Chains A and B, each alone.
Chain A
Amino acid sequence: MHEMSLAEGIRQIVIEQARAHGFSRVKSLRLEIGRFAGVEKPALEFAFDVVMRGSPAEGAALEMLDLPGRARCFDCMKLVEIDDRLAPCPLCGSGKLLPEGGDEMRIKDMEVI
């Protein structure tokens, strides 16, 4: 997938934050990744290590937190949590669900020095 591009996005944000908050090193960084974001975590970990070299986040510990997948059921019109995109509605069993969340990919916070 595009984990390399994602890592480059993280690097840009780290550099901007370092400038704004005046820190020199990131000890750890936490990401929130939605279940439907399509992020391959081992690939992102690998890309993170490579792409952060020479940035304040070089060698930083990376933690990824899962966010649930949410979808609107077209039949019962309820907002439900599902584990994968094609799972049926847990309330009414309908297969017509439109994801309404769970595609998040964001930096939650960073521990910096």
Chain B
Amino acid sequence: MPGLSQARLIEVETSILSKNDALAQGNRRVLKALQVLALNLVSSPGSGKTTLLCETIKALGDAPLAVIEGDQQTSADADRIRHTGARAIQINTGKGCHLDAQMVGHAIDDLMPAPQSYLFIENVGNLVCPAAFDLGEDAKVAILSVTEGEDKPLKYPDMFTAAQVAILNKLDLAPHTDADLDAYEANLLRVNPGLTIFRLSARTGEGMGPWLDWLRGRLADKRAPR
């Protein structure tokens, strides 16, 4: 009828990230069926993610694993990983500031992770955006190096809240800086009291043992779900 508004209200009640979340759940189902332990490694650029990954891969020996590398540009990191003998696939996000579940889903299809294997997903170096995007991983592992400043967890709480594990890396540099390692830990636990924290140096190997034990334990849990 003329003059009468035809407008109507539609209740949507849908998460803006619902598409990503649904794709992430799809990834999770695929990975669970294969008993793959998938970890989403997040940090600022330069925290030593790739070095940690390379050293972790070497230390895990012949355990089956695969790596998805996310960066805006270049295949430098995937090349470094492949140099260790591990299978790696590079995703270039172009202008994108984070990996999303769709990109990772395609990478999983291409990589076809072995049953009972590790899948390391190295996210774009960025302490903000990757926090909101579920990729279908078992846990986010946030890496923080001792040169970045004790206040980083307080400045970027979203990421450290989303993570289950925090790694305090570059421990070998701590004596050369004013780094207060206890303050780092206190701030991490202030934003997320549930965090499991490892202090280590990927470069010297100091402190790698407990991190490797944690990885092996989580993979074993996949085999025999409690």
Contact = CB atoms under 8 A, between A and B. Distances in A.
Contacts of B10: 17, 21, 23, 109-112
B193 A96 contact: yes
A36 B24 CA distance: 21
Nearest to B10: A110
Interface string B1-41: 00000111111111111111000000000000000000000
Nearest to A2: B129
B132 interface: yes
Nearest to A14: B12
Interface residues of B, number: 34
Interface stretch (B50-58, B79-87, B136-144, B184-192): B184-192
Given A38-B128, A38-B132, A111-B9, A10 B158 contact: no
Contacts of B96: 5
B11 A85 contact: no
Interface residues of A, number: 35
Instruction: Please report whether the interface of chain A is mostly helix, strand, loop or mixed according to DSSP.
Output: mixed
Interface string B178-221: 00000000000111111000000000000000000000000000
B8 A105 contact: no
Interface in A78-113: 85-86, 95-99, 103-113
B190 A96 contact: yes
A13 B10 CA distance: 12
Nearest to A20: B10
A35 to B, nearest CB: 12
Given A9-B17, A107-B12, A107-B14, 6 more contacts: A5-B98, A10-B16, A17-B12, A38-B131, A96-B193, A111-B8
In order of increasing CB-CB distance, the 8 nearest A-B pairs are: A107-B12, A2-B129, A9-B16, A85-B157, A96-B193, A105-B16, A106-B15, A38-B158
